[in-house]
Amino acid sequence: MSATPPDLPPDTSPVIDYQHQLRLDNKGYIVIGAGQGMGRQTAHALSQVGAKVLCMDIEASRAEQVADEVDGEAFVGDATQREDIEQLASTAEDLLPGIDGFVDIIGMARWGGVLDINDEDWDWQFNMVLRHAYLASQILGRKMVAAGNGGTMVFIASVSALTAAPNHAAYGAGKAALMAWIKSVAIELAPHGIRANAVAPGTILTPRMEAQFDEERTAQNNQLAPLGAMGQTSDIASAALFLSTPLAGYITGRTLVVDGGVDVKFPYSPL
């Protein structure tokens, strides 16, 4: 016998304007690594919902091109250097309505077995994956706390932090450290209304990947994903946009996996 549900009063809770929750009008956002691929798409995504975007890249031509595309501002610098991030923060205060958030795109792997990694490769890998996130969190975070308006931080992690990372173990270790860092940032800054999250891409067809993949390799990678294709840079930008908007206002300290379902596949042969 099924239980009779209790009589409940009508639900009269207010319905929010969900479409408005996607807007970032009169907000200032920084994209670190904006010059191509995921960064360029993220700059466009933020701009399209009303944000004024400061586009940082180590290459001046790329930063300026994307800034022109989104009617934003360009900043040239090395995100692994403290003085450059400090200058980025000062420039953002001058050129943006405020520092309401940032998306940190930077990351690259060096390939090689665990027995062959040397100290220079190890240090380079952690700089390329983690140091800029530490600097941006700290320096831009201080500005956001001082402003008192809350805000968002979004970082690009990797599925290589969630599984083994064969032949790029230092990269996987760095991305795992990044995800741990984000959790602590999220908890410490939550009282200030600042949310910190990550997006973990699977295999994404970035410009760098397109240059390396022939038709055969592309087809092989497409078959790995239950959704039948590698991801696009716009898929990552879409996730970063979601985490940057009030639609994700109750999400912090989390990593959103965007890999076409690869990580949830059954790893054994079916009966």
Nearest to 209 by CA among 233, 240, 234, 241: 233
Confidence of residue 1 (pLDDT cuts 50, 70, 90): low
- The token pair at 256 is 């959103």
Q: How does pLDDT run across 79-137, given as a tens digit for each residue?
A: 999 999 999 999 999 999 999 999 999 999 999 999 999 999 999 999 999 999 999 99
CA gap 267, 207 in Å, rounded: 30
CATH code of the domain covering residue 248 = 3.40.50.720
Q: Which residue(s) pair with 73 in the sheet?
A: 54
Residue 51 is assigned to a structural domain of this protein: yes
- The token pair at 255 is 């990593």
- The token pair at 57 is 């890249």
31 in Cβ contact with 56 (< 8 Å): yes
Q: Residue 223: what pLDDT? A: 84
Residue 166 is assigned to a structural domain of this protein: no
- What is the chain's mean pLDDT, rounded? 94
Residue 28 is assigned to a structural domain of this protein: yes
Q: How does pLDDT run across 167-224, given as a tens digit for each residue?
A: 999 999 999 999 999 999 999 999 999 999 999 999 888 877 777 777 778 888 888 8
Asked if the model's pLDDT at residue 153 lies above 90, the reply is yes
CA gap 263, 62 in Å, rounded: 33
Q: Residue 192: what pLDDT? A: 98
Q: Which domain holds residue 56?
A: 23-107+136-156+194-261
The mean pLDDT value for 151-162 works out to: 97
Confidence of residue 242 (pLDDT cuts 50, 70, 90): very high
Residue 4 is assigned to a structural domain of this protein: no
Count of structural domains, the chain: 1
Confidence of residue 2 (pLDDT cuts 50, 70, 90): low
Residue percentage of the chain with pLDDT more than 90: 84
CA gap 46, 26 in Å, rounded: 11
63 in Cβ contact with 56 (< 8 Å): yes
Asked if the model's pLDDT at residue 165 lies above 80, the reply is yes
> What letters, b where the CB count within 10 A reaches 16 and e where it falls short, cover 74-91?
bbbbebbeeebbeebbeb
Residue with tokens 């099924």: 2
Q: Which residue(s) pair with 197 in the sheet?
A: 154
Q: How does pLDDT run across 32-91, given as a tens digit for each residue?
A: 999 999 999 999 999 999 999 999 999 999 999 999 999 999 999 999 999 999 999 999
Residue 176 is assigned to a structural domain of this protein: no
Residue 232 Cα to chain centre, angstroms:
14
CA gap 150, 189 in Å, rounded: 9
Nearest to 173 by CA among 181, 165, 184: 165
